[in-house]
Chain A
C-alpha cells in the first residue's frame, strides 16, 4: 500500500500514538506514555506499525533491576550479624548457647552469623567459652548492608546500574541465585526497545495529519446518525482489507454434484435430452438388449450385483424379448449371423443393479425421436472390491445420438466436441476399441496437462443387432464419458471414495476447479 492508503486505513489507536508522539520520531516503548492506551494496546499498535513498515526497532536494551526477596524483607529489621552485634553491645560477653536465644533468629542463622563474624574478626573468644566483640571491631560493612536493604525496600525496585560499585558487589554476593537457597536480593532484567518512525511512517503520519485524520472518526454508521444527519461532515474510518476474515460456513452445493451439474448443463447446452431410470433392471435391458452374449465373461456372477428378492423380473416386454432373443440366436432379421446359441429367457429375467448407464440408452431406443440426442448421468454398480480406485457405486455418463446422417465421422466429430466442450482438451487421439454393442467402436484419449494421455471415453455406432430389435432403422451413436478422473482432478483428490465424502470438514474444504 502507498502512504495515502496506509494513512486512510489507520486505526484510531494508531492515530492516537501518532498524536502522542507529536514531532518526535523515536521513543522507548517501556517509557512511552500515551493517554487512553493500555500497555497491551500500545504493544498491538507497535506490532501493526512494524508489520506495515511504518516503524522500525532501532535498538533493544536490557535493563537490570534489584528487589528484595522475602528474606530481604525480613532483614529490614536487621541482618543476623547486626542483631548479634547489637545483643553483644547491650549484654556484654555471652556464651554461644545464650546467643542462640537471640530474638528473631533461629539457631541455624545464629550459627552461620557467628561463623561469619568470627571470620571477619568482629567476634573474638572471651573467657570460659564465651564470645565478645573485638576491641577494634569494624562494623562498617554490616551497617552498609543495612542501609542498602533499606534503600531497595523504600524504592521497591532499583536499577542495578544506579548503585555504587560496592553496593553492586554486595547485591551480587547476597542475591538469590540458582542453587543458592537463600538470598536477600533478587536481580531481574527487562527488555526495552527503542522504536523509530521510518520514512514511510513519517510520511503516513504527515498524510494522516494533513487529511485531518484523528482518532474520533465514525466507526459504525448507525440508523440514528442517518435519522439526525449527524454523519454529515464527519469522516469514516477506513478498513484495512488486508486482514483475512475467519472462514464462514455457508449453504453450498456438494463439490462433486457441482461437477456433475456442470457436465449436465454442458450436455443440455449441446442439445441432449436427459434420461433417468431405475436402478434395478433385468439382465435383458442391462445386457441382452445390448447384444452382450449370455456366455460373455462380463456376465459372470462376479461382475454384477444380483438382487436377492425377487431374483427375476415377472416378464420381459414384447416384442423386444423375442426380437432380441432372435438377434442373439441367429441374427433374426438384423442381417447378422447372431452369436449362434440358444437364448435363455430365464437368464434375461434375472434382476441386477444396473451395471452400466447404457441400459438407459437401450430402454430409450424404441421411444427416441429422430433426430435425437439423449444423455444420462446414472448411478451404476459393479461387483468390485472397494478401494482407492473402485467405489461401491459410481456415476456413468452415457447417451445416444440418432439421425439419418449419423456415421463414423460424425461420431468422431461428436467426441471431439465433448473433448473440447466438456473436458477442455485440445489434443486428442482416436483409438480403435471393442464394445459388444457397437461397431465401429472407438476410444477417445486426450492429452491432459498434468496426467498426460488419458482416456476420456468410449463410443461407437450401435450394432444393427441392438437397434433392429428396438425398431430403430437409423444409425445410432452410443457414447460414454469417464467422469471420475475428471471429477477427481477438478476436486484435487486422488481417492475415488472421497467423491462421496462423509466428513463434513472435508466437504467444506473441497473446492472445485472446472478448468483442470
Chain B
C-alpha cells in the first residue's frame, strides 16, 4: 500500500477549491485513503489502500476522484488522434528481455518546484509499487525539445555502448552503469540473466536511457521551468505500461499540459497489435444486470440513480433494458468482475447511506471438540492452583533442542528465511515455553505452578505438508522440594477427571532425569512425558530451583 505526500497548495489548485486538511481527510473514503498526518515539509500524508487503483496514488488522482464527486468531471480528449512521433522497436530479442515500450509528449506545462516533486513522486510510486520495483513497468521523463523522432528501442551489448547517466559527469559503459551507478546497483536484478540490455536512442543517435535503470544526463534531466516533456514507459506487461502512461498523461493534463500521442511499432505481435498509439483507452467495460446491484447490496437500486452515481465516480454508463454497461475511466484497469462495478457504486454513493441489517439466519454456535477438551483441561489445571502462561510459538532452535538436552539433529519445523534466530522454529512442545517463563521468574514468590495449553507443530514426514499441528498441554512445578510425586499426583487427578484410561510406563527422555520420568500412555497410545527436569536442562535455562513437569498431546484421544 503506497503512502504519498500531497502538497496542500498544489492540491487546492488541482481540485479547484480551497480545502482544509480536515475537509481533505473527510473525502478520503472516496479513494480508500487513510490520513496519516502532516509531515515536516507540510505535506499531507495519505495511505492509499487499493493496490488495484494506481490512478489514485497521486495528488492529481485523488483530486480527480473528489472533483468528479463534486460534479466537475473533466474529459480527456487525447485518447484518439494522430500520433506525432514514433518509437521503433528494433530487436526480436527484446521479447525475452523487456518487450514493451510506449510514450507520449506533453506540451505547455509550467513545471514548478512543487509540481515537479509531485510528478516525480507519481512516477516513482507507479514504478515501485504498480511496476514492482521497475520490473513490470518503469517510467522515464525527458525534455521533449531535445528528442528527435523516430526513437529506437533496441537490445544491445552492454560493453559496447556508453553514455553519461544522471548524477555522473563522465560517460560510462552500460556494464559500468549496472555495476557502479546507484540506480544500476539497485535495479540490475530486473535485467539479470540476459547478455543484452534494452537501450533507447533518438533519431540523431542521442541516448535517452537504458530502461529501466537510468536516463542520460543530456536528455533526461528535467528541471523546474521546463514546459515540454517526453514521457516513456517500458516493461514486461503492455497493459501495465499503457495504464501507467494513461495515468501520467491525465495527471499532466490536469496540470494544464497538452498531450500528444506517440506510436510504437513492433516487429512482433503484442496484445494490442504491432502498432500501438498511446495514450490508449483500453476497453475495460463491463455489462452488469441491474438486478445484480440490488442483490449484492441488499437495497433497491434504480437505473437513474446508478447512472448518476457512477457518472459522478468518473465512469461512463450506458443503460440497457435490464442491464448497464459501465466503462471505467482510461486511468483504471481494475474491473475484473461485476462485483467490482457494484462496489464502485457503493463507494460512490457512500457507505453511510446504507442502513445496516442484522443477519437473520439462525445458526448454532459451538467450539471445536478439541477446544472443549482443552478448556476442560485448563479448568482442571487452574483448580489445582496452576497459573496459566501463553507464549509465542516461534522460538529458537537453541531453546527447543540444546537447552532441552535433546540431540541437535532432531527434526523441527524450521523457518527458511530467518530474520532473528530467536524466532527460527515452531515449538513442538510447550515445555520449553514453561521453562522459559520459569527462567524469567526467579523474583516471583514460590512455589511456582505453571501450565500452558496451545498449538505446537511436530515435524512429520508422512504429512502432505511435512508437519502436523497438535494441541499440547504442559504443567510445571518449581520450588525447593518439587519432585516427581507431586507432579504425578496432579497428572493423576487431571487424567482421572478427564475420564480417559491412562497409564505410565518407564522410558528415557533426555530432558528428564533418568529413572525419574515416565511415558504417558492414553488408550495405550504414547501421548507425552512426565518427570523431574534434568539438572543439565535447568542449568541451561539458568533455573535455580528443582522442577518437575508433564506434557501431553490432547488431540491424540479426541
Residues of A within 8 A of B (CB): 249-254, 256-257, 261, 264, 267-282, 295-297, 301-302, 305-311, 313-315, 331, 334-340, 351, 353, 369, 371-373, 379, 381, 383-386, 391-393, 401, 403, 405-410, 412-417, 429-434, 436, 439-442, 461, 463-465, 475, 499-500, 502-505, 507-508
Establish whether residues B444 and A274, one from each chain, have CB atoms under 8 Å apart when the complex forms.
no
Establish whether residues A351 and B351, one from each chain, have CB atoms under 8 Å apart when the complex forms.
no
What 0/1 readout, one digit per residue, does chain B (120-151) give for beta carbons within 8 Å of chain A?
00000000010010001000000000000000
Establish whether residues B382 and A413, one from each chain, have CB atoms under 8 Å apart when the complex forms.
no
Q: Is B352 in contact with chain A by the CB < 8 A criterion?
A: yes
Residues of A within 8 A of B387 (CB): 249-252, 254, 504, 507-508
CA distance in complex: A296, B51 (Å): 9
Residues of B within 8 A of A415 (CB): 356
Q: Please tell me which one of the listed residues B384, B391, B444 contacts residue A508 in the complex, with CB atoms under 8 A apart.
A: B444
Q: Please tell me which one of the listed residues A275, A393, A407 contacts residue B392 in the complex, with CB atoms under 8 A apart.
A: A393
Q: Is B192 in contact with chain A by the CB < 8 A criterion?
A: no
Establish whether residues A464 and B457, one from each chain, have CB atoms under 8 Å apart when the complex forms.
no
A422 to chain B, nearest CB (A): 13
Residues of A within 8 A of B337 (CB): 331, 334-337, 439, 463-465
A405 to chain B, nearest CB (A): 6
23 CB-based A-B contacts, threshold 8 Å: A249-B445, A254-B390, A257-B390, A270-B365, A273-B366, A278-B468, A279-B455, A305-B394, A308-B416, A309-B466, A314-B465, A315-B464, A336-B337, A373-B363, A383-B417, A386-B423, A392-B422, A393-B423, A405-B359, A408-B297, A432-B351, A439-B339, A503-B444
Q: Is B195 in contact with chain A by the CB < 8 A criterion?
A: no
Establish whether residues A336 and B336, one from each chain, have CB atoms under 8 Å apart when the complex forms.
yes
Residue on B with the closest CB to A428?
B356
Residues of B within 8 A of A310 (CB): 465-466
Residues of B within 8 A of A508 (CB): 387, 444
CA distance in complex: A256, B391 (Å): 10
Residues of B within 8 A of A463 (CB): 337, 339
Establish whether residues A280 and B469, one from each chain, have CB atoms under 8 Å apart when the complex forms.
yes
Q: Is B355 in contact with chain A by the CB < 8 A criterion?
A: yes
Residue on A with the closest CB to B344?
A440
CA distance in complex: A295, B132 (Å): 9
Q: Please tell me which one of the listed residues A249, A384, A407, A431 contacts residue B297 in the complex, with CB atoms under 8 A apart.
A: A407
B505 to chain A, nearest CB (A): 29
Establish whether residues B465 and A305, one from each chain, have CB atoms under 8 Å apart when the complex forms.
no
Q: Which of B98-106, B302-310, B433-441 contacts A (4 or more CB under 8 A)?
A: B433-441
Q: Is B115 in contact with chain A by the CB < 8 A criterion?
A: no
Q: Which of B12-20, B221-229, B257-265, B367-375 contacts A (4 or more CB under 8 A)?
A: B367-375
CA distance in complex: A275, B465 (Å): 19
Residues of B within 8 A of A464 (CB): 337, 339
Residues of B within 8 A of A383 (CB): 417, 419
What 0/1 readout, one digit per residue, does chain B (378-422) give for beta carbons within 8 Å of chain A?
100111111111111110000000000000000101111101101
B345 to chain A, nearest CB (A): 9
Residues of B within 8 A of A309 (CB): 411, 414, 466
Residues of A within 8 A of B371 (CB): 264, 274, 276
Residues of A within 8 A of B449 (CB): 251
Interface centre among A381, A414, A434 (most CB of B within 10 A): A434
A345 to chain B, nearest CB (A): 15
Residues of A within 8 A of B422 (CB): 386, 392
Q: Is B515 in contact with chain A by the CB < 8 A criterion?
A: no
Residue on A with the closest CB to B456?
A279
Q: Please tell me which one of the listed residues A314, A340, A416, A433 contacts residue B49 in the complex, with CB atoms under 8 A apart.
A: A433
CA distance in complex: A407, B301 (Å): 13
CA distance in complex: A257, B354 (Å): 36
CA distance in complex: A464, B370 (Å): 32
Interface centre among B363, B437, B454 (most CB of A within 10 A): B363
CB within 8 Å for A339 and B392 given contacts A305-B415, A401-B359, A431-B29: no
Establish whether residues A408 and B346, one from each chain, have CB atoms under 8 Å apart when the complex forms.
yes
Q: Please tell me which one of the listed residues B32, B386, B411 contacts residue A434 in the complex, with CB atoms under 8 A apart.
A: B32
Residue on B with the closest CB to A376?
B368
Residues of A within 8 A of B176 (CB): none
CB within 8 Å for A274 and B366 given contacts A305-B417, A502-B391: yes
Establish whether residues A502 and B437, one from each chain, have CB atoms under 8 Å apart when the complex forms.
yes
Establish whether residues B426 and A353, one from each chain, have CB atoms under 8 Å apart when the complex forms.
yes
CA distance in complex: A338, B299 (Å): 28
Establish whether residues B466 and A351, one from each chain, have CB atoms under 8 Å apart when the complex forms.
yes
Residue on B with the closest CB to A300?
B132
Q: Is B506 in contact with chain A by the CB < 8 A criterion?
A: no
Residues of B within 8 A of A406 (CB): 359
Establish whether residues A252 and B359, one from each chain, have CB atoms under 8 Å apart when the complex forms.
no
Q: Please tell me which one of the listed residues A313, A417, A440, A500 contacts residue B358 in the complex, with CB atoms under 8 A apart.
A: A417
- Can you name 17 extra interface pairs (CB under 8 A) apart from A269-B365, A307-B414? A251-B383, A254-B388, A261-B375, A264-B367, A264-B371, A273-B364, A276-B368, A278-B457, A337-B335, A373-B359, A379-B393, A409-B298, A434-B50, A440-B342, A442-B351, A502-B391, A508-B444
What 0/1 readout, one digit per residue, does chain B (1-39) give for beta carbons within 8 Å of chain A?
000000000000000000000000000011010000000
B351 to chain A, nearest CB (A): 4
Q: Is B361 in contact with chain A by the CB < 8 A criterion?
A: yes
Residues of A within 8 A of B359 (CB): 373, 401, 403, 405-406, 410, 413-414, 417
Establish whether residues A408 and B368, one from each chain, have CB atoms under 8 Å apart when the complex forms.
no
Establish whether residues A505 and B52, one from each chain, have CB atoms under 8 Å apart when the complex forms.
no
Establish whether residues A500 and B365, one from each chain, have CB atoms under 8 Å apart when the complex forms.
no
CA distance in complex: A92, B91 (Å): 143
CA distance in complex: A257, B390 (Å): 7
CA distance in complex: A52, B366 (Å): 55
Minimum-distance CB pairs A-B, first 10: A407-B298, A371-B361, A504-B441, A412-B356, A409-B298, A440-B343, A254-B388, A268-B365, A504-B444, A278-B469
B174 to chain A, nearest CB (A): 27
A407 to chain B, nearest CB (A): 3
Residues of B within 8 A of A264 (CB): 367, 371
Establish whether residues B367 and A274, one from each chain, have CB atoms under 8 Å apart when the complex forms.
yes
Residues of A within 8 A of B338 (CB): 335
Q: Please tell me which one of the listed residues A351, A372, A408, A430 contacts residue B298 in the complex, with CB atoms under 8 A apart.
A: A408
Establish whether residues A313 and B464, one from each chain, have CB atoms under 8 Å apart when the complex forms.
yes
A278 to chain B, nearest CB (A): 4
Q: Is B360 in contact with chain A by the CB < 8 A criterion?
A: yes
Establish whether residues B50 and A440, one from each chain, have CB atoms under 8 Å apart when the complex forms.
no
Q: Please tell me which one of the listed residues A297, A371, A392, A475 contacts residue B363 in the complex, with CB atoms under 8 A apart.
A: A371
CA distance in complex: A20, B32 (Å): 83
Establish whether residues B368 and A339, one from each chain, have CB atoms under 8 Å apart when the complex forms.
no
CA distance in complex: A349, B40 (Å): 45
Establish whether residues B414 and A407, one from each chain, have CB atoms under 8 Å apart when the complex forms.
no
Q: Please tell me which one of the listed residues A257, A339, A503 contacts residue B440 in the complex, with CB atoms under 8 A apart.
A: A503
Residues of B within 8 A of A334 (CB): 337
Residues of B within 8 A of A433 (CB): 32, 49
CA distance in complex: A269, B365 (Å): 6
B368 to chain A, nearest CB (A): 5
Residues of A within 8 A of B464 (CB): 313-315
Residue on A with the closest CB to B441?
A504
Residue on B with the closest CB to A414?
B359
Q: Please tell me which one of the listed residues A336, A430, A507 contacts residue B389 in the complex, with CB atoms under 8 A apart.
A: A507
Q: Is B166 in contact with chain A by the CB < 8 A criterion?
A: no
CB within 8 Å for A385 and B413 given contacts A280-B467, A372-B363, A475-B296: no
Q: Is B347 in contact with chain A by the CB < 8 A criterion?
A: yes
Q: Is B450 in contact with chain A by the CB < 8 A criterion?
A: yes
Establish whether residues B132 and A409, one from each chain, have CB atoms under 8 Å apart when the complex forms.
no
CB within 8 Å for A409 and B354 given contacts A371-B361, A432-B347, A440-B339: yes
CA distance in complex: A261, B375 (Å): 9
CB within 8 Å for A432 and B32 given contacts A271-B365, A373-B363: yes
B42 to chain A, nearest CB (A): 23
CA distance in complex: A475, B296 (Å): 8
Establish whether residues A505 and B343, one from each chain, have CB atoms under 8 Å apart when the complex forms.
no
Establish whether residues B382 and A297, one from each chain, have CB atoms under 8 Å apart when the complex forms.
no
CA distance in complex: A309, B457 (Å): 13
Residues of A within 8 A of B364 (CB): 271, 273
